[in-house]
Chain A
Amino acid sequence: MPEPGRALAGVRVLDLADAYGAYASRLLSDLGAEVLRIEGLGAPDPIWPAPTRGHVDLGALFVNAGKAVLHADSVTEADLEALVGASDVVIEAAGRLDGVGFDRERVAVLNPDLVRVTVSPFGGSEPEDGPVDDLLVLAAGGLMHLGGYRDLGPMGAWGGQSAMAASIFGAVAALIGLISGRSTFDVSAQESVAQALEDSVAEFALVGIVRDRRGESPREAGTGTFHCSDGYVSMVAGRLGTARAWSGLVAWLTEEGAPGAEVLSDEQWSDFHHRRTPAAIDMFTGIFEAFAESRSKESLYRDAQERGIALSPVNDMASVLADRQLAERGFFVEVEDEELGPVVYPGPPYRLSASPVLSPLPMRAADRDAVAAFIRAERGDG
């Protein structure tokens, strides 16, 4: 039995993924697994959908933190045989091992207990002709249809979310493999995106309405993004809000003497059907934005939360980095990057009390010694 500590102590993960699966092995690495990533194995470098500085790709920095990374040029066929044999988990883009002569049978002989997780844009084991753009997958998965502006058309979300989504479920699949002994998992980024369609499929199936992007116009009064003195705030005080959210919101606006707020106390406003009419939505937006015009994001955040109203600032990245709650919780981690100098990483997405999650470490260039060590290490599965 391994030392108690990291949940995945002693687990070895061979990472042959492209952008769709790379964050999966990052998550496993933070949980204590040893991750060796080989790039360029029978495929071009992936597209990382994030900013770059010079040749430094921030998307790659983030998803490869904690891993030992080396290029396929310095890996022999014998190395790869030994690596496949020594791994507990392989996370790969479709057809990666198959494409270099390691077909299913050969891999099964080398390592009958291996958990194989394929993460690809549309699922399946056949490789795509080339890198698949995140925006295509957001479109095919249905999320893009709900995003964007009414006049400008559908629009995607920032940061390669189809790849992040697919990777998260890639990690889920790998862990299920470790727990249950199931050996082969096939993750589709399109399906990962299609987890996020909210009630729109049910709405079409039951009511026949195809939901369209709403852009800036909220679904109902009390909910939406509103302009204030120094930017925007986001609020949910409508149908999905807590029972007292709408009445609390009306009381707040009334007590503060917001011009026009008295109308919100009229009987009809307590009915959410009324609050969903375009006229009600427009009227509420007018009243709230006049009220918010002289107030900052921070003061609205504080005052609304004091009253049990779900309002948050629309933070830019500087505000996220300066957030008091995140600072108090010690969330951010400073990492020394060889090229960029000191940079800040987000801490882990969850905290485990008995098997603590590692803070992100920089990725490191692996050499032949690292390959040899990976192969020699004690098997982790007890």
Chain B
Amino acid sequence: MGDSGPLDGIRVLDFCWIGAGALVTKALAELGADVIRVESRTRPDNLRVTPPFRPGTEGGLEASGYFASRNPGKRSFALNMRHPDARAIALDLAGRCDIMTSNFRPGVMERWGMSYEEVKAVNEAIIYLVMPMQGSDGPHAGFIGFGSTIAALSGLVHLSGVPERVPVGTGTHYPDHVPNPGHALVGLLAAIFHRSRTGEGQIVELSQFESTVNVIGPAVIAESAGIPVERDGDRMAGVSPRRAFATADGAWVVIACATDEQRKALASTLDLDSLADRDDADGIVADAVAGFAAEDLLMTLGAAGVPAERVNSSRDVLTDRRLVERGFWYDVDHPVIGTMPMFRLPFRWEGSRVSKPARPPLLGEHTWEVASSLLGMDREEFDRLTAEGVLE
């Protein structure tokens, strides 16, 4: 919890797990909201047992760096929703929250008696985010998927790669990381703004499929207008070269020249004849670049006004000057994992660099804290519910 974040005073009951949903509530926590994550020890978030693990810490539910990276700043409340007595506690919590979030398949929240209508009955103004893969209705509403399969369904994979080979997309579950949590945040924040002006709550439904189609929106328009769009590597009309080149020290550098002036500067920097009208310009540049170390090349190209960037690896991003200077990374100390870098939202506002979200929670770390302070539960009842397996 931040102490002066822009969403201070907003409380979130968070049923999200795994990918896209967890990033939505990570952002809300960073913005100062009190995010209470409902977790189960009987059926824990799969990410809690997913690598990477620091060597020697494997096993158990607290060692996953994957889980940690998506959950800083949240409180963990261990509640077994499959227990018949869990619903009353969840509804009590929902009554004290502004937002409820989940990213299960349609039907799961309903099975737990936590549908929008049921929550609304105890909290008229609740903002209720759902993130079903293909929407809450329609013939494929029950279909399942992950970021990479959603990217495939939406057309993004087909368009990314070279024509004669298997399309490779981004090589990640990209829709889970930006398009879907990002769009969900926009919808959710719009609903918060609406509520601040009208007092009215609502359902925000993000179909992960429909959200992802939007980030390739121009391809939809093109297809409908009969303009062919196919994958073509990194080629783009008018920009040449435009691709990554391997350097002498095993790194890669992107060079993208949009003007003749830049191409001339590139040629002269690399001591090449003019690159104009050369079909094999990419090959000539590749051969020349292969003789430079990346750092030297970037310095030389930068000084000559040639647009170039290192293809930053997961190691490079941690030391990239701009990211470091802007405070993009911050370390947390975790009792099992040790020190680990966390990433911030991609923007700063006044005071945002001072606050630092709390380390990711241990499973159930805040169950007593939330039960006692928010629900007014006494120790005796807490112990009874724990013994009965309702609280975990």
Contact = CB atoms under 8 A, between A and B. Distances in A.
B157 A320 contact: no
Contacts, number: 501
Which of A177, A317, A320, A342 has most chain B Cβ within 10 Å?
A317
Given A58-B221, A179-B7, A165 B314 contact: no
Contacts of A158: 156, 159-160, 216, 219, 231
A143 B312 CA distance: 8
B373 interface: no
B328 to A, nearest CB: 5
A127 interface: no
B323 interface: yes
Contact of A242 (B144, B230, B347): B144
Nearest to A204: B314
Contacts of A328: 137-139
B170 interface: yes
Contacts of B23: 195
Contacts of B186: 27, 31, 168, 171-172, 175, 349-350
B337 to A, nearest CB: 7
B158 A314 contact: yes
Interface stretch (A99-107, A210-218, A261-269): A210-218
B220 A321 contact: yes
A365 interface: no
A192 B200 CA distance: 31
Contact of B223 (A4, A193, A211, A317): A317
B384 interface: no
Contacts of B213: 320, 326, 331, 346
Given A179-B7, A355-B194, A185 B348 contact: yes
B182 interface: yes
A178 B196 CA distance: 10
Interface stretch (A46-54, A68-76, A78-86): A46-54
B216 A308 contact: no
A184 B185 CA distance: 19
Contact of B170 (A147, A308, A382): A147
A335 B162 CA distance: 31
Range of interface residues on A (Cβ < 8 Å): 35 or more
B54 A190 contact: no
Interface stretch (A34-42, A148-156, A250-258, A371-379): A148-156
Given A2-B197, A213-B171, A173 B349 contact: yes
A264 to B, nearest CB: 21
Contact of A305 (B52, B144, B242): B144
A147 B172 contact: yes
Contacts of A136: 254, 256, 307-309
A145 B182 contact: no
A130 B261 CA distance: 12
A83 to B, nearest CB: 22
B341 interface: yes
A324 B209 CA distance: 12
A319 B348 CA distance: 40
A152 B364 CA distance: 46
B312 A145 contact: yes
B382 interface: no
Contacts of B157: 225, 234, 314
Contact of A350 (B31, B168, B204): B204
Contacts of B206: 349-350
Contacts of B18: 240
Contact of B346 (A140, A169, A240, A345): A169
A344 B227 CA distance: 12
Contact of A210 (B66, B160, B314): B314
B291 interface: no
Contacts of B243: 135, 153, 155
A146 B171 contact: yes
- Which label, helix, strand, loop or mixed, suits the secondary structure of the A interface? mixed
B322 interface: yes
A147 B202 contact: no
Contacts of A202: 52, 65-66, 68-69, 340
A211 to B, nearest CB: 6
A259 B321 CA distance: 53
A188 interface: yes
Given A314-B152, A354-B200, A349 B214 contact: yes
- Which label, helix, strand, loop or mixed, suits the secondary structure of the B interface? mixed
A55 interface: no
B148 interface: yes
B239 interface: yes
Interface in B147-172: 148-162, 165-172
Given A155-B160, A236-B146, A349-B206, A204 B318 contact: yes
B226 to A, nearest CB: 9
A295 interface: no
A349 B207 CA distance: 7
A213 B218 CA distance: 27
Given A51-B229, A168-B182, A349-B214, A233 B346 contact: no
B99 to A, nearest CB: 12
A53 B225 CA distance: 9
B314 A225 contact: no
A343 interface: yes
A293 interface: no
Contacts of A353: 202-205
Interface in B1-56: 6-7, 18, 23, 27, 31, 46, 50-55
Given A145-B313, A147-B168, A354 B194 contact: yes
Contact of B347 (A27, A173, A199, A312): A173
Contacts of A325: 134-135, 138-141, 143, 209
A312 B215 contact: no
Given A49-B236, A317-B155, A349 B210 contact: yes
Interface in B249-287: 252-254, 256, 258-259
Interface in A161-209: 161, 164-166, 168-173, 175-180, 182-207, 209
B318 A345 contact: no
A184 B350 contact: yes
Contacts of B252: 139, 145, 153-154
16 contacts: A138-B254, A142-B312, A144-B311, A145-B312, A155-B233, A168-B179, A179-B6, A192-B178, A197-B177, A201-B314, A314-B157, A317-B155, A323-B153, A329-B210, A354-B194, A357-B187
9 tightest A-B contacts by CB?
A: A202-B65, A191-B346, A180-B6, A234-B152, A344-B224, A354-B202, A50-B218, A350-B187, A158-B159
Interface of B: 6-7, 18, 23, 27, 31, 46, 50-55, 65-66, 68-69, 134-135, 137-146, 148-162, 165-174, 177-179, 182-187, 189-194, 196-198, 200-207, 209-211, 213-225, 227, 229-231, 233-234, 236-237, 239, 242-246, 252-254, 256, 258-259, 305, 307-318, 320, 322-323, 326, 328, 337, 340-341, 343-350
